[in-house]
Amino acid sequence: MKKLKIMISGIGNRALPKRPEGSNWLGWVELIRRSEQFELVAAHDISEDARKRIVERGYLAETQTYGDLDQMLEEVQCDAILVSNPAEYHADTVAKAVRKGLHILIEKPFVNNLKEGKQLVEAIEQKGIVAAVVQNWRSKSVGLALHDSIQSGLIGRIGHIMFRYVRNRENPNYPPYIFEEPYPLLYAMGIHHLDLFRYILRDEYESVSGHSFKPPWSLYKSDTGVSLFLKTGNGTPVMYSGTVSSMNNALFQESLVIEGEKGTLFNESPWLEPPLWFFPRGSQEKVDLTKGVEDASIAGQYNISDEYILGDFYRAVVSGKKSLCSAEDGLRSIAALEASRRACETGITVFLKDMER
């Protein structure tokens, strides 16, 4: 099998964890090293420390690291780029990679706003390259099992989805910029959850109403909680409530209930780890739909889902198969975020079709 040459922009925690022993994932650099499909040939980061780290850990020679993206794109012959720098730079990095005709794997969120995303999707389509987004809640074992059980008709017609998120992200040791971020719940985590629901339902949001809030102890500038009511094109209601200002570290962060006419799906976990339970209608018995999963740990699940995405990206490049989440698909989740934010800010119901203008 011919390996594809890949470069990275952004050598932070997602690409190469600063503290590997406490990390929830191995990171892209190590996954690529283990992969038979990709070969890492260069990396870019504006931080000298980050560039040093990848060299000191033996992944690249110093001459393969760049502080300047344009220079890397100019000098390195490559098939693909992995964009793992902060979200605000995704659009710029992707635009440059598209001009070079590279295939692109982009960490979530695809971009920071709908407008810049639309222009990029057009450019990507014109170039005929593969651009895939890392929406890894889809490829965690529970995400895949949710998709399959709903799409196979196991729970029948869907009544509604209820989701709640309770997280303590009020850590004064975090870098100050974290506390300046607008709607941290929506942009850091809602992008995973709202995207997952679109994927498992194979349906698009039509409208959203909602409110945002934050408790008196919050260190954040913006509201840290939201309560949303979304409705899909097929009429499925999605109730989404959460906060990143909980003072609780004991409860599971994620709690998901999906009701169908033939039964209920249920998951409660830190970051969507197994088990996914199915309660057949009228029965006290529950069935573990993720029974066969080899590693249900937090790190195990991140690595399984990241490996899946890497393999999926490869197949999309070499065989033209549609990727698990294309840029166009990822952009629809950005639209859902923006609509949710607008709904909270205005107090009115926002229709997704109006977001496209």
The footprint of ligand NAD (CB under 6 A) covers 9-15, 44-47, 50, 84-87, 89, 107-108, 134, 136
Q: Which is nearer to ligand NAD, 242 or 263 (CB)?
A: 242
Q: Which is nearer to ligand NAD, 4 or 8 (CB)?
A: 8
Minimum distance between the CB of residue 65 and ligand NAD, rounded to whole angstroms?
A: 11
Q: Which is nearer to ligand NAD, 31 or 350 (CB)?
A: 31
Minimum distance between the CB of residue 21 and ligand NAD, rounded to whole angstroms?
A: 16
Minimum distance between the CB of residue 243 and ligand NAD, rounded to whole angstroms?
A: 19
How many Å is the Cα radius of gyration of the chain?
20
Q: Which is nearer to ligand NAD, 161 or 309 (CB)?
A: 309
- Residue 257 forms beta bridges with which residues? 162, 266
Minimum distance between the CB of residue 336 and ligand NAD, rounded to whole angstroms?
A: 16
Minimum distance between the CB of residue 10 and ligand NAD, rounded to whole angstroms?
A: 4
Can you tell me the distance from the alpha carbon of 266 to that of 308, in angstroms, rounded to the nearest whole number? 23
Residue 255 to residues 48, 151, 209, 275, 356, Cα–Cα distance (Å) = 40, 21, 21, 12, 31
Q: Helices 327-346 & 191-201, crossing angle to 10 degrees? A: 120
Can you tell me the distance from the alpha carbon of 183 to that of 185, in angstroms, rounded to the nearest whole number? 6
Which residue of the chain is nearest ligand NAD when measured via CB?
A: 12
> Do 254 and 270 form a contact (C-beta atoms < 8 A)?
yes
Q: Which is nearer to ligand NAD, 158 or 194 (CB)?
A: 194
Q: Which is nearer to ligand NAD, 15 or 194 (CB)?
A: 15
> Do 83 and 11 form a contact (C-beta atoms < 8 A)?
no
Q: Helices 298-319 & 141-151, crossing angle to 10 degrees? A: 60
Minimum distance between the CB of residue 354 and ligand NAD, rounded to whole angstroms?
A: 27
Strands laid side by side in the 237-243 sheet: 287-288, 277-280, 263-269, 254-260, 158-166, 237-243, 225-232, 205-213, 350-351
